[in-house]
Amino acid sequence: MSAISTVGDRVADVPFLEKRDLSLLLVLPGLFVFAAFMLFPVLYLVGISFTNAAPANLFAGDGAFSVLTFGEATFVGLRNYVSVLTDPQFWNSFGITWLFVATSVALKLSLSITIALVVTSDRVRGKRLMRSLIVLPMGLPAIFTITVWRGIFSSAQFGLANQLLGSVGIEAIAWLSGRWTAFMAYNVTEAWLSYPFMVIITVSALQDVSEELHEAAKVDGAGYLSRFLHVTVPSIKRPVLFAAILTAAASFQQFLVPYVFNQGGPARANELIVVYGYREALSFSEYGRGAAISLIAVVFIGTFMWLNVKRGRLAEGVSEQ
């Protein structure tokens, strides 16, 4: 406290500063980091989306920092946005992305709530060990886990999924060559990657459910399912909804799973929106189109999250200050 007062006194000695400006000086490093690593990239992305930027012109200007002023790329107005919004491949990516978000979130929710109920039940032994195993996927690099799952869904006979099918007399499936089998493989892998986070949130919420409410419901003759629907679900709804919104955003931005599995195939049929933007920007060297795709995706996912937070009343009680 005394050190802060000393610094404040020194600040007051500077001719153009007053002691009350100390708080501003303390947040300036944070503001600089935010501007450099958050604000500037977004503004640069917005700027480049209105140009015809490509490797041939973006890096062709004079000086090492000419790329910051978009090199020799020229302003093209809304041409990139019009081009993207009239591209059938964009709408295919847009639709398959939202379908992926819906199915993966439903799978993650059902799986996570089931596991959370098991590891919080008084009738289950070894819950501590089970909880330790649940968070195991969080400790592994995502690329490693995805590569392992790609091997599981290998179209060859030695793929684990095909070996399981073979053990019950079903012929091997070319998982990643079919549109919907590949889509299902995406969902399973995404659920594996994300379920630990959902389970942790759900377990925390379940531990806060009032035992008195359950006892009162039992006295009224409510069975397990009735208590789950009318006591447990309303009590855990808000934290689980909040976690679901976050994982939905993560699913919307999923890149590694489709790219590592089959690059959004077959024939770009499962190209999620981020893979589509990446391919346009880097594979086809259309930086402007790639930036426009990214911004359109940001607008949609931002609107989705805002609507869900609003409809779920998750911001209630948060101070405006």
What angle, 0 to 180 degrees and rounded to 10, lies between the N-to-C axes of helices 179-207 and 127-134? 130
Q: What is the mean pLDDT of each run of 10 residues along the chain (321 residues)?
A: 60 65 81 90 93 88 78 92 94 95 94 91 83 86 94 86 90 91 95 92 88 84 85 88 90 93 91 93 92 93 86 63 47
CB atoms within 10 A of CB 111: 17
Residues 6+ apart with CB under 8 A from 198: 108, 109, 111, 112, 240, 243, 244, 247
**154-179 pLDDT tens trace:** 887 788 999 999 899 888 899 999 99
Long-range contacts of 308-313 (CB under 8 A, 24+ apart): 308/241, 308/245, 308/248, 309/245, 312/238, 312/241, 312/242, 312/245, 313/238
CATH 1.10.3720.10 location in the chain? 87-285
In the prediction, which pLDDT does 321 show?
47
Q: Cα separation of 118 and 283, whole Å?
A: 46
Whole-model pTM above 0.75? yes
In the prediction, which pLDDT does 278 show?
93
Superfamily of domain covering 87-285: MetI-like (1.10.3720.10)
In the prediction, which pLDDT does 319 show?
53
